[in-house]
Structure 1
Amino acid sequence: MGDAPTGLRVLGRLRLSRSTDESTSIERQRETIQRWADAQGHRIVGWAEDVDVSGAVDPFDTPQLGQWLTPDRAAEWDTLAAWKLDRLGRNAIQLNRLFGWCNEHGKTLVSCSESIDLSSWAGRMLAGVIAGLAEGELEAIRERSRSSRAKLRESARWAGGKPPFGYRATPREGGGWTLERDPLAVPLVRRIVDDVLNGKPLNRVATELNTEGYRTPRDYHVTVKAGAPSVQLEDREERTSRWQASTLRNLLQNPALRGHVHHKGQTVRDDEGVPLVLAEPLVDSEEWDALQAILEGNRGARKHHKRPDAAPLAGVISCIWCGENLHHNQMTVKGNRYRYYRCPNHREHGAEGASMVPAAEVEELLESEFLEQAGDLPITERVWVPGDARDQELRDAVAALDELTRLVGTVASATARERLTGQISAVDRRILELESQPVREAHWEYREVGGTYRDAWESADTEGRRSLLLRAGITLRVGVQGRRGGHSAGVWNWELNVPEAVADALAR
């Protein structure tokens, strides 16, 4: 240890990359610095303690030490003492900047375990050598980490860290880790997926989850690590974070929902362009496509989904002039409550096109005409028939081609471009092969499901009746000419649209 003036004011530097690292614990560092200060007759005037802070962070940017490296606080201490030099940083350039700052402000810097004291020329020389070695060690750690994670991704093994919500890490036969469905979280993920597919807005889903006390993915992960897994808050437990629309969007756009290996938000593929699968998927391909279309604002993807608390004829009644769905509205005038349906384009229909259609009257009209024409017919519902496996495989291959093509412009190295080109060629060959084979595409079919429309109508509530009409594909286009204000006077124009399958039954 070099000679240093006695009676100096010492600022102790404590840093830890991970709070679980026992070999370099905060207490061990504190004891070493305190013993050194006592032996030299110095006085500790403060501690700059940073936990969970990487050695790659510039000392001037660390939360605690950075506050002491300012002109305002420079007069409060004389010597900066650390357990080892790497507690100050692992970057030679950053450490040299710190050395220069100390020299400019008349400060000394001491490494208690390495006998380095910047007050001597030998200490300064040794500090520069060790700083260079520390930087090399940090870069080696980074490279080993990158290589290890890349290898794990290629072998479809879990690289560690926080599992995607809906999964949990489990030991893998032969060593390492993999992911499996989390029986506690999966039901919540399915609820969220179903709510969004059924047309419920993200903000509403988030509000309901908060009201019912469901943990966010972040809080749930902390709970699992603590050994008391629960998808809902315990009695009198305070919430530390809340569900937001952005939380749901991140969850539903994560490729992990499909069980795919992913890196920086992108699906990892093999040399043939096929996604690497790490775990059993939480959604199938059709659900994934529908979710992405909805989240991207494709309203067409929502048309066959009902909305919660919908009006009696929501999705069934439309404007006879423009075909837009009519919106259900309510208003109160002089204490009287009125319900009506209004076309969103009502201002474009001119004076003859009524802006409002009385709700009760049009609901009664539809019920009367529907039961008169189809009440005694067997119920015929529109059923979605998925395509065969080849159809789904073709759609997945086209999606893979789109994704790989977008990545071409983002890579810089020749190796990455060569790998992408090989994957694109493999996917192209698979598409060509699939396109040459007969494919049964996904489509809607009408099937008789038993019972009559009248029986089903009379036994159903309001939402059940609306659902019956939607499943049958029956709609009503309506408008009133010459109507003014809230009065029902005017000429009604309407047209009941009956699907061909139901119309054929009417003709028999």
Structure 2
Amino acid sequence: MIENPRILGVIRLSVTTDASTAPERQRAAIEHWASSPYINGTVIGWAEDLDVSGGLDPFKRPKLGPWLRERANEFDVVAVLKIDRLTRRSKHFAEMMEWCQERGKTIVSVTEGIDMSTPMGKMFAQIIAAFAEGELDTIRARVQASAQTRLEMGVWTGGVLPFGYQFVDSSRGKGKKLAQDPEYAALLREIVDRIKADWSAYRIAVDLNQRNVPTWRDYLRIKAGKPARGIKWNSSTIVAIATNPTAAGFYTYKGQQVEDEEGNPIMIASDPIMTAAEWNQMVVRFTTDERKAVRSIPSRSMLGGVAICGLCGANLSSAKKTKQNKSGPADYFYYTCNNLQNGTCTLPGRAKRPFLDDLVNETITRLFGGAPVFEKSSVDSGPLRIELDAVRARLDRLEGDYMAGMYDGEGQDESYWKMHKNLSAKVSRLRAEVEVIDSSPRYLNTGRTYGEVWSEKDDEQKRAFLKKHNITIAVFKDLVDHSRESVVIEFKELGEIVRENNLLIEDIVQEGSVYLNASGFYRYGWNTPIGDDGSVPTVEQLRKIAKRRVARKRAAAVT
């Protein structure tokens, strides 16, 4: 040990409530050692890391790290209460010793009497560090086992309280369980029901803000007697709430659902707010393009972003034009092709907004008003099939490794059979779920008609309805000689519904002006050419006709 050393006092604590190694006790012990006659050192600074695990690399610790990386020339000795206050990892301890040796520094444990400037001190320090690492692993294993036990008992293991739930005492007397919070469980049910009724996430958020409903975090603050922060609802918040697995009672860790040894999902609540089917329905709804483009402002029209230009396929947007009439200025509203401004569409579709809105309203209510509304089944076996293939592949690799002798070591055989049992159970469960889904009808009759559902909706809900039921509105310009506008409305989903449910055309169409094409979907045309069989051509067929008309006009202009 050098004379009158400059000492860096190092303090670490995993949990600030641990009285046995409290920061004050560590500081007092280091100061007492530094001021002793045979040391006579000076503490030049402190690296105090609280709530920091002993498994963290010392060079990455918030307080100690900068001292080691940037201020190494300011001290000669690193003094700690015990070796485990510096690190609980043998690898990190060896790196610290090497770092100190290269720079002429030493490490001292003041209560264990270890001075690593001597060979004997180094040896004892390495032994103690190895024991500290073993103790850390034991602590972690004990914590993980405790968390797993609490989880299997249905006891909440910690973290942010999920939306719509509250803590209640466990019936077994240990820890807290999750139960529905009466007020916000009802709010979540309201959100889910509105999404089912084709409300957009934006509209729900606006409504909650207008009603001055506190957000979940503010609600928890109010319950705790703290002032609300006035955070507002937004579209992303609504989507996150509706698609969170905890709403259906599923336990997740780092975004992944946690399963038991039998491959079944672990539940965090015995009485979930949403059913598994409802949660899956929310995920299906918001993993489409709607989730990728959550609106921050509402659309101001019924068909904006839904109707398309018949020629180029771009969406139509609502536009306003002001004209000066004898009585003064007047506003006129149109739907126009989005490619009108950049000139990439040679014949951009355009229609007066009131006309097109009325045409769609009349088509759905008059021609399809009595047709039954079917909803797509909320569950798709596709993701389950992908997961099933992945689990099968993992099981095959495991069996291959076993045959190759990779589990011949002591205790490894038991580990292999445990993993094999878990994976086999998961394969069986996933296969059964896929079979159930594939044997179920893809469309379920809601018991309501198009006319009933359509009449209850506002423009925004109608737009969502059109998207959900795969109804296409295509607007063509100059497709026929006697009209500037032509419109085709295709009901692509209805053909599938008719086939799968053995319905008759009379069950769907109220009049004879709707046609079923070879692709299997119904369509209605306004001012469109008629095919050889007397039916309305499809959008694709009309697009070819429109392109030929454009080509002929160009050729005529040249000549």
TM-score normalised by structure 1 residue count: 0.70
User: Is contact 2:334–2:352 with CA below 8 Å preserved after alignment?
Assistant: yes
Give, in whole Å, the separation in 2 of the partners of 1:430 and 1:464. Answer: 33
Any idea what the Cα deviations from partners look like across 1:312-360, whole Å, max 9, x if unmatched?
A: 4458856566888643234679998553213458899975x44322224
Q: Give the alignment's Cα RMSD to 1 decimal.
A: 5.3
SS of equivalent to 2:288: coil
Q: Deviations over 1:277-317 (max 9, x none)?
A: 22133333343223323443356999xx9x94440445885
Q: Residue 445 of structure 2 corresponds to which residue in structure 1?
A: 443
Listed one character per residue, the Cα deviations across residues 452-473 of structure 1 (whole Å, up to 9, x for unaligned) are: x9xx79xx98669989999999
Deviation of the 1:363 alpha carbon: 4.3
Q: Which amino acid aligns with 2:55?
A: A
Aligned to 2:63: 64
2:336 to 339, 342, 349: 342
Sort the Cα spacing of 1:121 and 1:185 in 2 relative to 1 into closer, same or farther, 3 A: farther
Q: Residues of 2 paired with 1:54 and 1:136: CA distance?
A: 14
Give unpaired runs (5+ residues) of structure 1. Answer: 484-488
Partner of 2:138: 140
1:476/1:496 contact within 8 Å kept: yes
1:284 paired with 2:286, answer: no
**Contact kept? 2:307, 2:475, Cα under 8 Å:** yes
Shift of 1:251: 5.3
**SS, match of residue 9 in structure 2:** strand
Corresponding position of 1:420: 423
The Cα of 1:57 is off from its aligned counterpart by: 1.0
| 1:20 and 2:14 aligned | no
Report the CA distance between 1:56 and its aligned residue.
0.5
Take 2:77 and 2:490, find their aligned partners in 1: how far apart are those partners? Answer: 87
Pick from 4, 9, 21 the counterpart of residue 6 of structure 2.
9
One-letter amino acid of the structure 1 residue matched with residue 282 of structure 2: L
**Which stretch of structure 1 is more off in the superposition, 90-99 or 414-423?**
414-423
Measured after TM superposition, the shift of residue 399 of structure 1 is 6.2
Matches within 5 A, 1:91-490: 91-174=89-172, 175-183=174-182, 186=185, 198=198, 200=200, 223=221, 227-228=224-225, 232-233=228-229, 253-270=243-260, 273-279=263-269, 280-297=271-288, 308-314=298-304, 326-330=316-320, 338-343=332-337, 353-363=347-357, 374=366, 383=373, 395=379, 402-409=386-393, 414=416, 415-429=418-432, 442-447=444-449, 478-481=475-478
* Aligned amino acid, residue 103 of structure 1: Q
Tell me, in whole angstroms, the C-alpha distance in 1 between the residues paired with 2:234 and 2:87.
37
Aligned equivalents of 1:441 and 1:38: distance in 2? 82
Alpha-carbon shift at residue 108 of structure 1 (Å): 2.7
Letter in 1 for 2:274: V
CA distance in 2, matches of 1:129, 1:471: 67
Distance (Å, rounded) in 1 between the aligned partners of 2:339 and 2:312: 8
The answer to whether the Cα contact below 8 Å between 2:381 and 2:437 also exists between their aligned partners in 1 is: no
| Secondary structure in structure 2 of the residue aligned to 1:106 | coil
Map Cα deviations across residues 232-273 of structure 1 (whole Å, 9 max, x no partner).
Answer: 426xxxx7xx98988777655542222023344333345654
Instruction: Provide the C-alpha distance between the structure 2 equivalents of 1:73 and 1:203, rounded to a whole number of angstroms.
Output: 56
1:204–1:121: structure 2 CA closer, same or farther, 3 Å change rule? farther
Matched length: 468
Paired position in structure 1 for 2:539 = none
Question: Helix, strand or coil for the counterpart of 2:123?
Answer: helix
The answer to whether the 8 Å contact 1:380/1:472 transfers is no
Alpha carbons of structure 1 residues 188 and 468: separation in structure 2 relative to 1, 3 Å: closer
- Partner in structure 2 of residue 492 of structure 1: 485
Cα distance change, pair 137–447 in 1 and its aligned pair in 2 (3 A): same
Q: Is the 8 A contact 2:479 2:485 kept in 1?
A: no
Identity %: 30
**AA in 2 matched with 1:423:** K
Pair 31,324 (structure 1): closer, same or farther in 2 beyond 3 Å: same
- Assess, with a 3 A threshold, how the Cα gap between structure 1 residues 176 and 404 changes in structure 2: closer, same or farther: farther
1:144 Cα offset (Å): 2.3
d(CA) in 1 for partners of 2:68, 2:431: 58
Determine the C-alpha separation between the residues in 2 that align with 1:202 and 1:281.
Answer: 25
